[in-house]
Chains A and B, each alone.
Chain A
Amino acid sequence: MDKIPILRMGAFLLVTIQVDLYDRLALNLEADLVQMVNKTSAKGVLIDISAVSIVDSFMGRIIGNIASMSKILDAETVVVGMQPAVAITLIELGLPLKGVHTALDMEKGMKLLKSMIDETEEDADEDQTHDDFIAE
């Protein structure tokens, strides 16, 4: 059976969907990805859907699910390279994918993920110094 590869790159996971997703494949991807995020404690997930030309409401929901699940496991999800027709279809289906970050291409998506992770780390540092200050 087909399987969509999940690549690890530093603190991020890369998923490139090269085929049109059918329901079973999407469900498997969802399960695999969550397992992988847990196993590698990844900070970010980057899903490239530039080769996907057909979406339905189910696909939209799966992407939303992946984002929410990753969020629970402390990883941000960025969807990159959506085609105009796909974007229009999702909007017409009433699926604006709230909570999913988007970027135009891989490069911009990577930049966005990095900046998001920097921010959270900064926040953590600030909390640390704040605590230190109180301790003193």
Chain B
Amino acid sequence: MSQKANQLLKNKKKNILELWMKNQLADEGLREDLISNDELRSQSEELINALVTNLSGENFTNLDADEWSPVIEILGGIAITRARQGFSPRETGNFVFSLKEAILEVLQQEITGDQSNLYTESQKINRLMDSLSVVTFETFIKGREEVILRQTDEITEISTPVIRVWDGILALPIIGTLDSARTQIVMENLLQEIVETGSSIAILDISGVPAVDSLVAQHLIKTVSATRLMGAECIISGIRPEIAQTVVHLGIDLSNIITKASLASALAYSFRVMRLEVKKISTVSKP
């Protein structure tokens, strides 16, 4: 960028900011519910300041250069906060694109008469702002991915609780599809809990598992065998009729695993094994 245009942009920083703010506020997609106008202004101002300081540099188009890192940092910070706040990609993109429009407009006003100069300067600004918007998008998507990853982790954590239903009896309701990674977590949680509570019976309730294929059955058998190795007994409960049909049709042998139709019958079985009895107290009429 020529010294002149460079100096010009520096002097017109205020104008650009005003124009940019006007563009942003005029935009129909402005999200006043997510970000206040004051905050938007301070974000914009910070970015312009960093940008204009760097315009004088030699590496004008090379964004990998060190001198651009503050600008990219600010832009990345803005993109990530926006991803977390729930801005759409379009709104985030418009943030940078409206800045480009503002700069181009100022250039057009200031460089009059010299068409070829205006053209070259606009071209440079275009190239710069395009690479900056690519950076914004990259960071935005990265931020979104982080959010998704965190949620996935949370879901796997939440969805495998081990419940102590009785002294010595654990229940583990499985909800959702059972894949290898999940089986691993379920198995580890269950075995750890068996050790901690000294339970001798574990009930694996699969009423929340949508489908059982040979792979899922294999995972279940693995969990049951591991529990047996630890010295506890494992009962599979909550087998729906459709699942029973599929299992038989697939030719999966569950004969050496104790299976019960419902959690209630599994619990009743566990009580029998542990020689416990649940009795109804006879209501004696008071004298």
Contacts and interface: CB of A to CB of B under 8 A. Distances in A.
Bound pair: A and B? yes
Contacts of A109: 231
Interface stretch (A9-17, A30-38, A100-108): A100-108
A40 B254 CA distance: 39
A70 B65 CA distance: 74
B270 interface: no
A88 B191 contact: yes
B230 interface: yes
B285 to A, nearest CB: 43
B231 A103 contact: yes
B192 interface: yes
A59 interface: no
Given A84-B195, A91-B226, A108-B200, A102 B188 contact: no
Interface string A92-122: 1000110000111100110000000000000
B232 interface: yes
Contacts, number: 55
Q: Chain A interface: which size bin?
A: 20 to 34
A27 interface: no
Given A91-B222, A96-B229, A104-B231, A84 B198 contact: no
Contacts of B226: 84, 87-88, 90-91
A96 B198 contact: no
Contact of B198 (A90, A97, A105): A105
A87 B191 contact: yes
A92 B192 CA distance: 17
A67 interface: no
Interface string B180-197: 000010011001101100
B228 interface: yes
A80 interface: yes
A102 B229 CA distance: 6
A43 B227 CA distance: 26
B217 to A, nearest CB: 14
Contacts of B230: 82, 84, 87, 102, 104
Contacts of B228: 96, 102
A104 B198 contact: yes
Interface in B208-266: 222, 225-232
B198 to A, nearest CB: 6
Contacts of B199: 104
Among A82, A83, A87, A102, residue most surrounded by chain B Cβ atoms (within 10 Å): A87
A72 to B, nearest CB: 22
Among A90, A91, A97, residue most surrounded by chain B Cβ atoms (within 10 Å): A91
A109 to B, nearest CB: 7
A109 B229 CA distance: 12
A91 B225 contact: yes
A87 B200 contact: no
A50 to B, nearest CB: 10
Contacts of A103: 231
B255 to A, nearest CB: 14
A102 B231 contact: yes
A8 to B, nearest CB: 23
Given A79-B229, A82-B230, A104-B195, 15 more contacts: A79-B231, A82-B231, A84-B191, A84-B226, A84-B230, A86-B229, A87-B229, A91-B222, A91-B229, A102-B229, A102-B231, A103-B231, A104-B230, A104-B232, A108-B231
Interface of A: 79-84, 86-88, 90-92, 96-97, 102-105, 108-109
Interface of B: 184, 187-188, 191-192, 194-195, 198-200, 222, 225-232
8 contacts: A82-B230, A82-B231, A84-B188, A87-B191, A88-B187, A91-B226, A104-B195, A104-B232
